[in-house]
C-alpha cells in the first residue's frame, strides 16, 4: 500500500519519501527527515486507507461552489422539480452564505447539519 524510499538531496541530506496511492488511484508522496517519522506516517496512511478514513490532502483546495456543483451532478436520479429546488437553494442561500469557503472535508458536514459560521 505505502512504502518508504531513502534518498539524498542535492545538499547531501538524507530524506525518506513515503509514497502511496489514494482511493482515487493518484500517487502521492510526503518527505521526512527521519525514518521513524516516515514509518509513522506510512502506518497511519495504511490504517486510514484500509478503514476508509482517508481524506484527500487536496480536498481543501476545492471551493464550496465546485463541491456543490459536482454533488448535484452526481444525483442522477432526482426528479426535475427536486433538482430545480436544489439548484435554487444552492444559488440563493448556500453559495452566497459560504462563498469563500474551501474547507474540504467539512463541506459534507455543512450540508448535512445546516451549520452556520
Query: How far apart (Å, rounded) are the C-alpha atoms in residues 95 and 88?
Result: 10
Who wins on pLDDT, 74 or 116? 74
Taking residues 99-116, report their average pLDDT: 54
What residue segments make up the domains of the chain, in order of their start? 2-50, 59-113
**Where on the phi/psi map is residue 62: left (φ > 0), alpha (ψ -120 to 50), or beta?**
beta
Quote the pTM value.
0.47
* Contact predicate 101/67, CB 8 Å: no
Residue-wise burial string across 100-117, b where 16 or more C-beta atoms lie within 10 A, e elsewhere: ebbbbeebeebbeeeeee
Amino acid at each position: 500500500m505505502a512504502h518508504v524510499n531513502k534518498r539524498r538531496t542535492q545538499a547531501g541530506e538524507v530524506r525518506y519519501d513515503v509514497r502511496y496511492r489514494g482511493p482515487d488511484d493518484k500517487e502521492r508522496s510526503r518527505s521526512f527527515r527521519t525514518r521513524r517519522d516516515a514509518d509513522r506516517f506510512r502506518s497511519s496512511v495504511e490504517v486510514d486507507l484500509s478503514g476508509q478514513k482517508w481524506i484527500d490532502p487536496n480536498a481543501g483546495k476545492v471551493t464550496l461552489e465546485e463541491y456543490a456543483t459536482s454533488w448535484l451532478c452526481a444525483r442522477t436520479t432526482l426528479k426535475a422539480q427536486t433538482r430545480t429546488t436544489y439548484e435554487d437553494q444552492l444559488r440563493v442561500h448556500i453559495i452566497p452564505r459560504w462563498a469563500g469557503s474551501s474547507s474540504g472535508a467539512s463541506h459534507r458536514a455543512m450540508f448535512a447539519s445546516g451549520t452556520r459560521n
